[in-house]
Structures are given as structure tokens and as C-alpha cells.
Amino acid sequence: MRAWHRSLSLSRRDIPRIAQHFSVGLGAWLGEVPKGLLNKCKRADKAPFKRRYATQKPTHGYRGLKPTATVISSLRDEAANLRRTLPVLQLLRSTILAIVLMYCLFMSARAIASEDQILVYIGTYTGERSQGIYVSRFEPATGKLTPPELAAKTTNPSFLAVRPKGDFLYAVGELIEDDKPKAGAVVAYRIDRKTGKLTLLNRRSSGGKGPCHVAVDQTGQCLLVANYGSGTLAALPIQPDGKLGIPSALIQDQGSSVNPERQEGPHAHFTTVSPDNRFALCCDLGLDKVLVYHLDPAKAMLSPNDPPSVSITPGSGPRHIAFHPDGRFVCLINELSSTLTLLSYDPQKGVLKELQTLSTLPNDPKVPKSASEIHFHPNGRFVYASNRGHDSIAIFGFDAEKGKLTFIEHQESRGKIPRYFGIDPTGQWMLIENQDSNDIVVFRIDPKTGRLKCTEQQISVGQPVCAVFVR
């Protein structure tokens, strides 16, 4: 190898030139040829190597060997061929790079769109048009809601709750027999964020009859269940793998109120936790009370607060409540009287005090009274309440400094019996679940005025009664 260049009767000065031509060939295949090197090769073609080596007598014992001129000429031809093919190779390279770039942009757009989509799980009453829990994908940028797909087959998952991390979902199993509430169950599922499908983990007793509402505490360790039929409130531990333990706390409400048909006994209708996770609140429609309990999420235990409750105007029928974003106010929707009650909340003592009560309906005695759901807007400036029968959303303005509600307007729900509605995490959209018309309608929210505008987007699903968002 040491005498290779000598065997061709080449001087050491010729080796770099030959290497340059090989570099041009290699660079052409790689798609990159240094401009300076290409110019050198062009000059070499115009001024060929001198053939002095063709007549020079070789040394080191190789007499008569004259390959120099042939090798140089061959290399010059190769360089010329590469120069002619170089534009084609560069065009091919540019085309490949463009295709790769377009593919990367396409995949990035898909990934961004997927990240921007929010999963919406829909609870239903099962029957001919529904088989359980459904899932749709929601795009906050456009308000688009995709057609629902069955996420899990189960019986009457009328209310859903998601653990704060978004990894597990819990549903009540509201069982009815002969038009009467039957012993119910709560079901735990694992969420597949890619497909939206739910994997069954386990089932547990709800601790009573006719479970109608569930809530998860902010640490994700405790599940609260309100049982309407038996008037009981249960707390179940959530294990690290998402499965539910047996109820560790079970409280039986006692008493009745003035409506003999709907308030003959206790009917726990709703439960939630305070923003600081220290208290659990429960609306009892049959008692006209909101009950307050100390919460120990690590042990899933409940104990009565002092005072243990706040009483509402007899015959009101407390149904659901919503906390203001600052945690100092609570709004209560009363089903039987179709009224909205504003209460102050002391986060240190867990004490509620009534401040104001307004009707959610127009002043017309012929309009049926059956209020159902309530939510604060994320900006804290507006309150929304749904009216079944009147099939509307009542919109109220809220002044946190004065602690006062002001009616704004009614918005038609574009369907029958708006049992539930949800506001997406961005605060731009409202999804109204119309139970009897079997649809979900999307409305845009004006964050300045609180008013709603129908987007004309809707999906069909059998008897939707709940919707929860999962990012």
C-alpha cells in the first residue's frame, strides 16, 4: 500500500487531484458538492494534466509501465459525467427533501390536532337508542363535536366523574325496577386517551338505592356517591390502580319536607367537594337542605360539620350546586321551585348562608317547574341554569364584589328536556344535553356578555343526561 502511487508512476502532488475527483463523485451521490471543489474540477477539465509522466522512466523497478495518461484521462471523463448528472441528482435530492418535509408537517399537524382535541364522555339512560357510555371528540378551536362512539356498555350510567389526572372514569348504575329505584352500583373504568375506549376495572355497591350522582375528591383518593332512592351518601376509597374499594362511610339522611309526592323522605341528589378539599357538600331534595361534612380523603371518611346543614325555602327541592371560582360563593339550583339561590361560603368553617333567590323561569304560571343543572362560567362573571319543560338556559350576571345575581336572558336549548349542560375547559363553548330529543347541541359563549349563540352543530345520542370533559 505504501508504494501504490509509485506503481502508477504518479507523484505525490497528483494524489490530491485524484482525491478531488473522487470527492465530487461521492458528493454528488450524497447531494452535496462544495462549490470550490466543483470549480477546481472544471478547471482541471480545461487544463488537462501534463503527460510528462507518460515518457518519464519509472523508478523502483517498474520499467515500461505507462498508465498515467490513461488514468488521468479516465478520471477527467468521470468528472465530466458527474458534472452532467449533478443537476439531476440535485433535483432528485430537492424532491425527496420536499416530500420528507411535507410528511413531517402533515404528521405534526395531526399530532397538534390530536392534542387540541378534548374527549367528551356522555352518560345516558339506556334503552333502544343507547347502550351505555359514549365518547366524542371536541375541538375547542372550532366547536366541532364528532359523532359519538360507544365507549363502554353498561346500564343507565346517568352520571359520570373523572379523576383529576384524567386516567380513570367512574359511573353510577341507576337501576330501576317496577318504576322504583333498585339497589345500585358504581363502576370504575380506565380511560384510553388515544381511542377513547373505557376498560372495566371493577364494580361496587353504591351504598343505597337509585344512585344519581358521583364526584371524585381533588386528590383522587375518594369517590362520593349520592343515592336518591334511599337518601344515603356514601364514600368509597379509590385504590392506586383506579379500582374502588367497598364503602368506608355511609350516611343515612333523615326527615321530610312539605311536598308529599316528592319530599316524603330524604332524597340525596348531588354531592361535591369544596375547593380546598376539606368539606363534602350534599344536596337533599327531600329535606330542603344542603348538608356539609368534614372529608378525610385518605381514609374516605365523612363526619357532620357544625352546623351540619343550611335549610332552603320549604318546597324548593335542592338539586345541584356550583362553586364560584374564588371559592367564596355557591349557587344552588332548586328543582321543584325552579329557583336559583346564591349563598356565601366560609371556607374555614364550611358554613353556608343564603344571600339571594331568583326564579329561573319567566313570570308565567303555566310554565312547568323542573330546573335541573347549574354552572358558573370559568371567569366567574356569569351563572347558567337549565329549565326542563321550558327547555331553556337561564343566564345570570354575577357581581362578586356585591355578591349579587342579575338576570340577563333565556336561551332556547334547541331540544327537549335539557337535563344537563357542560362548559368546555376553555370557557368558549356550552354543550347542552337534551334528554327527550336525543341530541347534544353546541353553543358559543360570549365571554363579555355571557350570552349564548347556537352554532347549528349537534350530534345524536340516545337520552343524554351527563357530559364530562377529559383533556
What are the pLDDT digits (tens) for 253-295?
Answer: 999 999 999 999 999 999 999 999 999 999 999 999 999 999 9
Distance CA(403)–CA(354), nearest Å, equals 11
Which domain-ending residue is among 77, 111, 145?
111
Question: Which pLDDT does position 270 carry in this prediction?
Answer: 98
Question: Which pLDDT does position 94 carry in this prediction?
Answer: 73
β-bridge mates for residue 152, sequence order: 133
Mean pLDDT of 71-83: 67
Question: Which pLDDT does position 99 carry in this prediction?
Answer: 81
Question: Which pLDDT does position 61 carry in this prediction?
Answer: 46
* pLDDT 10s digits, 441-462: 999 999 999 999 999 999 999 9
Residue 18 belongs to what domain range? 4-111
Query: pLDDT over 70 for what percent of the chain?
Result: 76
**Of 62-66, 178-182, 421-425, where does the model show the most confidence?**
421-425
Is the distance from CB of 233 to CB of 302 less than 8 angstroms? yes
Is the distance from CB of 461 to CB of 439 less than 8 angstroms? yes
Predicted confidence (pLDDT) at residue 69 exceeds the cutoff of 90: no
Q: Which residue has the higher pLDDT, 56 or 210?
A: 210
Which domain-ending residue is among 111, 141, 156?
111
* Judgement on whether residues 43 and 157 belong to the same structural domain of the protein: no
Q: Band of the pLDDT at 232, cuts 50, 70, 90? A: very high
* Judgement on whether residues 146 and 79 belong to the same structural domain of the protein: no
* Judgement on whether residues 91 and 133 belong to the same structural domain of the protein: no
* Judgement on whether residues 180 and 70 belong to the same structural domain of the protein: no
Predicted confidence (pLDDT) at residue 368 exceeds the cutoff of 90: yes
Question: Which pLDDT does position 49 carry in this prediction?
Answer: 42
Q: Which residue has the higher pLDDT, 338 or 66?
A: 338
Which three three-digit cell numbers place residue 214? Answer: 358521583
Q: Is 192 exposed, middle or buried (0-12, 13-18, 19+ CB in 10 A)?
A: middle
* Judgement on whether residues 174 and 102 belong to the same structural domain of the protein: no
Q: Is 354 exposed, middle or buried (0-12, 13-18, 19+ CB in 10 A)?
A: middle
Question: Which pLDDT does position 75 carry in this prediction?
Answer: 65
* Judgement on whether residues 126 and 92 belong to the same structural domain of the protein: no
* Judgement on whether residues 146 and 59 belong to the same structural domain of the protein: no
Distance CA(372)–CA(434), nearest Å, equals 12
* Judgement on whether residues 73 and 124 belong to the same structural domain of the protein: no
* Judgement on whether residues 171 and 189 belong to the same structural domain of the protein: yes
Phi-psi region of 42 (alpha: psi -120 to 50; beta: other; left: phi over 0): alpha
Note the pTM of the prediction, 2 decimals: 0.77
Q: Which residue has the higher pLDDT, 339 or 58?
A: 339
CATH code of the domain in which 326 resides = 2.130.10.10
Which domain-ending residue is among 111, 141, 159?
111
Residue 104 identity: C
Q: Band of the pLDDT at 437, cuts 50, 70, 90? A: very high
Distance CA(45)–CA(244), nearest Å, equals 83
Question: Which pLDDT does position 30 carry in this prediction?
Answer: 46
Q: Picking from 40-54, 159-173, 189-203, which range would have the lowest pLDDT averaged per residue?
A: 40-54
* Judgement on whether residues 420 and 354 belong to the same structural domain of the protein: yes
* Judgement on whether residues 129 and 86 belong to the same structural domain of the protein: no
* Judgement on whether residues 43 and 138 belong to the same structural domain of the protein: no
Residue 129: phi and psi, rounded to 5, are: -105, 0
Predicted confidence (pLDDT) at residue 47 exceeds the cutoff of 90: no
Overall domain count for the chain: 2
Maximum pairwise Cα distance, the chain? 126
